[in-house]
Structure 1
Amino acid sequence: MMSINTQPNNPLHGITLKMVVTALYNHYGWEGLAKQVNVNCFKNEPSIKSALTFLRKTEWARLEVEQLYLRTFA
């Protein structure tokens, strides 16, 4: 059986990508988020759904967003 603490050193453990994007959007807004992470999903007709679709396919962008989340809320 898997232990609950399978990733004790992962600060994002238990936090979904949707939670990350939503928190950043609530904090920065789309315009501010686009200034922090230069990707079109935050610039052109942004939505949580479109951002999640893009970030799930694009590892480098997802990593940038996760790092921004950690810098902002850690």
Structure 2
Amino acid sequence: MDNPQPNNPLHGITLEKILLHLVEQYGWEEMGRQINIRCFNHDPSIKSSLTFLRKTPWAREQVEKLYVESLKNW
């Protein structure tokens, strides 16, 4: 049975798409200010950020929260 989640803004969105959106909207420097993690502040890249965020649930939660907040302002 198909279970759509119309109230979940993260449903169907990959972590990579979230990062690409945030980089486009804020840039690495601002993301690093809002979420102080090394992969945003030192030689940032999508690949290194994906690797870190997939292994670090607390950081991924913060990135997802920033993404949801950014949708309100977009």
* TM-score, structure 1 as length reference: 0.89
User: How many residue pairs get matched?
Assistant: 72
TM superposition outliers: structure 1 runs of 4+ over 4 Å: none
Name the CA distance, whole Å, in 2 between partners of 1:69 and 1:11. 9
CA deviation string 1:3-47 (max 9, x = no partner): 051x34422001100000010011111101100111000011100
**Percent of residue pairs identical:** 56
Name the CA distance, whole Å, in 2 between partners of 1:4 and 1:15. 15
The RMSD of aligned alpha carbons is: 1.2
* Residue 31 of structure 1: aligned partner: 29
Name the CA distance, whole Å, in 2 between partners of 1:8 and 1:26. 25
* TM-score, structure 2 as length reference: 0.89
- Unpaired segments ≥5 residues, structure 2: none
